[in-house]
Structure 1
Amino acid sequence: MKKLIFKSLARLNKKVLPSYSKKGLQIEKASKLQLAIIAYRAWVLKNALK
């Protein structure tokens, strides 16, 4: 059940949230909001793959 929720969230994130890797964003120059989005996406992805 938990894995299904995270997989759904990961799909939703892919459609809604921006992909900074495709834009070529450098982590050193990222704002706090951009870092928070990156961390959230990584957390959801990690839990979806467990």
Structure 2
Amino acid sequence: MYKILAKLNKIILPSFTKQQLDIAKAKKWQMAIIGWRYYVTKRALGN
């Protein structure tokens, strides 16, 4: 389930690393997306 969700995240959600977003200056909604993507990616990898 998490692997499918990770693929959907990659398609739907923006990639802030490609936009070179500074984490210290990120807004709350951007931090929420980063946290969500991290959580799903970690679960998809099985760690």
The question of a shared fold, defined as TM-score above 0.5 by the shorter chain, is answered with yes
- The structure 1 segments of at least 4 consecutive aligned residues displaced by more than 3 Å after TM superposition are none
Structure 1 unaligned spans of 5+: none
Amino acid at match of 1:32: K
Greater share of helix: 1
Greater Cα radius of gyration, structure 1 or 2 = 1
Root-mean-square deviation (Å)? 0.2
Are positions 1:37 and 2:37 aligned together?
Answer: no
Structure 2 unaligned spans of 5+: none
Aligned pairs, how many?
46
User: TM-score with structure 2 length normalisation?
Assistant: 0.97
Say which of 9, 15, 39 aligns to 1:13: 9
User: TM-score with structure 1 length normalisation?
Assistant: 0.91
Q: Percent identity?
A: 52
